[in-house]
Structure 1
Amino acid sequence: METADREPDPRFTLANERTYLTWLSTSLALSAGGVAMAAVSADVFVPWMRTLLAVVLVALSALSAAMAYPRWRRVQQALRRSAPLPPPAIAPLLGYGVAAVAVLALMLILLSR
C-alpha cells in the first residue's frame, strides 16, 4: 500500500539537492578531464589513445549530467512516499569508467618513459 505524498523533512530535500549538484560537479570535472586529455601534446600519448580517453571521459560526463535530474526526481518521490531510496544506477558505470581511464592513462605514462 502506497502512502500519500507528503512534504519531506527539508533537511532531506536539501541533502538530495546537494547530491544532485555533486553529480553535476562530477560531470563538469569529467568533461574538463576529457578536454584536457584531448589537448595533451601529441608526443605524450599516441593520438588514437589520447582521443579514446578524451571521448570516454566526455561521454561519462554527458551520462552523469543526463542522469542527475532523473535521479534527483526519483529520490524526491521516494522521500515524499517514505519509500526506500532507489540505488544510484550511474555510480557503477562512472566508477568503472573512471577506473578504466585511469588504468589506461597510467599504462601509457609508464610505457612512454
Structure 2
Amino acid sequence: MTFSRRSDRSPLNGVGEAPDYRFTLANERTFLAWVRSALAMMAAGVAVIQFVPGLDLVRHALGLLLILLGGLLAGGSYAHWESNERAMRLGEPLPHSPVPRLVAAALTLTAVAALVLTILDLMGG
C-alpha cells in the first residue's frame, strides 16, 4: 500500500483516462469488502472482550488489537482503493498490498490466543 501526502496528488478525475466502468465498479466492490472486513474485526474485538473467558489483561489486549486492526484496515482501504483507481487511470500495474497477509497473520494469532484462553478456562473451571 502506498501512502503519500494528498497535496502531492492530482484529483482522480484529472489523472489519465477513465477506465472501463466495470473495473472501477470492481475496485469499489473490493473497497467495500475491505470495509466489511474491518467492521467484522471491530465487532470480533468487542466480542472477545465480552465473551472470551480467561485473563482480563490478555482478553482485553486481544480485543483491543482486533479493534485497532479493524480501524487501520478501514482507514487503509480508501488509500488502497485510490491507488488502484489511479493506476487503472494511468494504465499502470496495480500496486501490491501486504494487507491480506498481515490481516491473516493477525487473525490467526488472535484465534490461537483465544483458543488457548478458552482451553485454560475449561481446565481450570
How far 1:87 sits from its partner (Å)? 1.1
User: Are the aligned partners of 1:35 and 1:54 in contact in 2 as well (CA < 8 Å)?
Assistant: yes
User: Are the aligned partners of 2:54 and 2:120 in contact in 1 as well (CA < 8 Å)?
Assistant: no
How far 1:89 sits from its partner (Å)? 2.9
How far 1:101 sits from its partner (Å)? 0.2
Structure 1 residue ranges, 4+ long, deviating more than 3 angstroms after superposition:
none
The correspondence of residues 93-108 of structure 1 with structure 2, limited to 5 A, is 93-108=102-117
2-side partners of 1:95 and 1:63: how far apart? 14
Structure 2 counterpart of 1:109: 118
Superposed CA offset, 1:10-60 (max 9, x none): 11000000000011000000000011111126xx21111110110110011
How far 1:111 sits from its partner (Å)? 2.2
Structure 2 counterpart of 1:18: 29
Please, what is the CA RMSD of the aligned residues? 1.3
Question: How many residues are aligned here?
Answer: 108
How far 1:8 sits from its partner (Å)? 0.3
Gaps of 5+ in 2: 1-14
2-side partners of 1:40 and 1:103: how far apart? 16
Query: Which amino acid is 1:7 matched to?
Result: A
Query: Which amino acid is 1:104 matched to?
Result: A
User: Are the aligned partners of 1:34 and 1:56 in contact in 2 as well (CA < 8 Å)?
Assistant: yes
Structure 2 counterpart of 1:7: 18
Q: Please state whether the residue corresponding to 1:112 is helix, strand or coil.
A: helix
1-side partners of 2:65 and 2:101: how far apart? 15
What TM-score results when the alignment is normalised by the length of structure 1? Answer: 0.89
Superposed CA offset, 1:64-106 (max 9, x none): 0110100000000111111110112322221111111011111
Gaps of 5+ in 1: none
